[in-house]
Amino acid sequence: MHKLMFSAALIALLAGCGDAGAGGNDSGNAMAGSDKTAYAIDKVSLPGEGRGDYLTVDADGRRLYVTHSSQVHILDLDSLKPVAAVTGLDGAHSVALDTAGGHGFVSDGNTNSVKEFDLKSGKVLKSIPVGAKPDSILRDGATGNIFVFNGDSEDVSVIDPAKGAVIATIKLPKGPEFSQSDGKGKIWVNMEEGNDIAEIDAKTMKLVRTIPLTGCEGPAPLAFDAANRRLFSGCGNKTMVVTDADAGKVVASAPVGGDPDGIVYDAGKKRIYVANRDKTWTIIAQNGPDNYAVDETLPIDEYAKTVALDPKTHRVFSSTADLEWPPKPTDGKKWLPNAKSGTFRLLVVSEK
């Protein structure tokens, strides 16, 4: 494990009233020491109630999809202004895109379904029943199919986008968290309770193997370096572990913040952003396929916990809201906050 290096970073939040997106634009600056990268953090208010989850970037179509409880905000990726919305949802989690077919798919967790929608208008076209508590979702480039990862039923629903229907169900050993595809027929998904990764053959739609994540407790977020065939798992014990996707073994690790729930790899910058729930992001430099060091810890809004990257501009997106904490549950369920009304916002992190 590499030594954690803290920058002399500080945040200056600058109140603003610019017209960006559906609400005001509140811009802040993250200024690091002279030997560190300086980041700007912009805030764009978005309408609606509740907290958000995953964000999806369409770099070619220049669209950003922001899930937000009962809706998905569809924004212009450059101006961040709204162009459409998917509405009428009940627990939106994640979006996958079939751009050739002109359709999107959003996992709707509380209805155990995936909603197929029109990419231009956001209009819901179909509700597709899947497993229990669908969460992460992706389109596999090798098959064109949509893979839906169901947390409570501990399985994967495979949707043929042309049919708009489930064509297979893949049973997993444990409940899945975030997933990645190499576009060549392999899919990986973290299993938080098993402390391992499930590998799936996208073409045969079968579970191939599980990969133990040595040194990792509670893996949730997952990112992929296609060039070096490396998987990055954010772990609940304040660690990121790096796995050789082909050899199926952990090859490196680095310290991160508390309870990470988002992670993204910027191939152009050789940089990994780990989004923690504890008001920090851990920014990690990739010095080689098996060589990683913490570059800095970036202060950010609490629960800015999921991330998406625009590879063309290198901007990184997250969402959060002002939080209200209910009484702590006594039944063992995870203690989760609610969002204060009218405070949901998009965060945009970029180099200065």
Asked whether residue 261 carries a pLDDT value surpassing 50, the answer given is yes
pLDDT-derived band at 36 (thresholds 50, 70, 90) equals confident
Asked whether residue 298 carries a pLDDT value surpassing 60, the answer given is yes
Distance CA 65, CA 73 (A): 6
Distance CA 316, CA 37 (A): 14
Structure tokens at 73: 């905000």
Structure tokens at 150: 């169901």
Amino acid present at 218: G
pLDDT-derived band at 8 (thresholds 50, 70, 90) equals very low
Residue length, the chain? 352
pLDDT score, position 13: 34
161, 120 contact by CB (below 8 A): no
Q: What is the pLDDT of residues 183-192, one digit of tens each?
A: 999 999 999 9
Tracing tokens 């916990």 back to the chain, one arrives at 305
pLDDT-derived band at 72 (thresholds 50, 70, 90) equals very high
Asked whether residue 239 carries a pLDDT value surpassing 60, the answer given is yes
Asked whether residue 20 carries a pLDDT value surpassing 50, the answer given is no
Angle (CA) 32 37 40, round 5°: 75
pLDDT score, position 336: 84
pLDDT-derived band at 351 (thresholds 50, 70, 90) equals very high
Share of the chain above pLDDT 70, in %: 90
Q: What is the pLDDT of residues 185-221, one digit of tens each?
A: 999 999 999 999 999 999 999 999 999 999 999 999 9
Asked whether residue 18 carries a pLDDT value surpassing 50, the answer given is no
Asked whether residue 136 carries a pLDDT value surpassing 90, the answer given is yes
Q: What is the pLDDT of residues 75-129, one digit of tens each?
A: 999 999 999 999 999 999 999 999 999 999 999 999 999 999 999 999 999 999 9
